[in-house]
Amino acid sequence: EEQFDRVAAKVPPQVELGAVLARVVAEEASVETALADLREDDDESESESEHTERELTDEERRIRELETQVERLQAHVEDLETTVDKKDDRIEELEDELTETRREERQRARERREVSRLQRETDRLERELEAERETVGDLEGKLERLKALWKLDHSNFADVSEAKAGLVPVKVIEQFTTGAIRDADERFGLAEDDIVLFRDASGAGRSTAELLAEIGPRLVLRTGGLSEVADRILFDGDIPVAPAEQVTVQEVDELAVARESEVEAAIEDWERRAADRERQQRAEMVDRLISEHRADRVDRSQG
């Protein structure tokens, strides 16, 4: 019994005590030797069991197939994830390239807009330059015409001296209207003793004629006939009026001149006609008074 207790004290709990006691008693071996032999037997038993595989059931085979499929799918998923990572990296590269391309395109668009703006500005300046050149050309032409105007030939103006003295300015107005007169006054001014030429003298009313009479021109040259009311107002205001054909007028745009001698002749002609008109008016007034007096005497005698 003491031997049993001594053996039991040396045997680990996971080892079967009976097998150890049997070896110690039968083989008269030590506890340590018995334990070592048992371990060798267990290893050999496990090795034999490993070499002898049992046949798997249908369920176990299905499980193994599924596990194999899972392993393959997991490997495929890993491959796909790797591919996705690579594609993500490529997408980032392409997005960076696209961003840079868009930036370059915006820069080129800004440059094109700037070029277009500069081209438009250049075209505008060229048009202005061309217009200025045309204006200069027109002014040069006017200057030449003015020079020619002031260097009038003796054959055309026999009564003009060598220095071309005796020319007077004429202010040309398109129509005998209040608006045209005011416009001319604003553009080049109208003053007393001016010589005024109306290209169209028809249609002037009372207010227009009174406006012209207030200015007091020296002579009014008319193209076309005056209205009766305008003729009477100008006559009462001692404003000489003559047909434009009576005076030779040389024009350069808004500038015009006439010979002083022709102006004086037109005024003298108007004065003669005005004197005749006054005599006729006085005679008509006398005749009217005589007629009224006779009619009054007849009425009294009959009464």
pLDDT in tens, 170-215: 999 999 999 999 999 998 889 999 999 999 998 788 999 999 999 9
Q: Is residue 80 part of a domain?
A: no
Number of domains the chain contains: 3
Residues 171 and 280 in one domain: yes
Which residue is associated with the tokens 């037997």? 41
Angle at 286 between CA 283 and CA 292, to 5 degrees: 140
Rounded CA gap, 261 and 166, in Å?
Answer: 7
Domain range spanning residue 47? 2-51
Q: Is residue 263 part of a domain?
A: yes
The values of phi and psi at residue 194, to 5°, are -70, 155
Q: Is residue 59 part of a domain?
A: no
Residues 123 and 225 in one domain: no
Residues 115 and 192 in one domain: no
Residues 187 and 111 in one domain: no
The values of phi and psi at residue 274, to 5°, are -65, -40
The values of phi and psi at residue 87, to 5°, are -65, -35
Question: Is pLDDT above 50 for 163?
Answer: no
Residues 145 and 181 in one domain: no
pLDDT grade, residue 138 (50/70/90)?
confident
Least confident among 25-39, 125-139, 227-241: 25-39
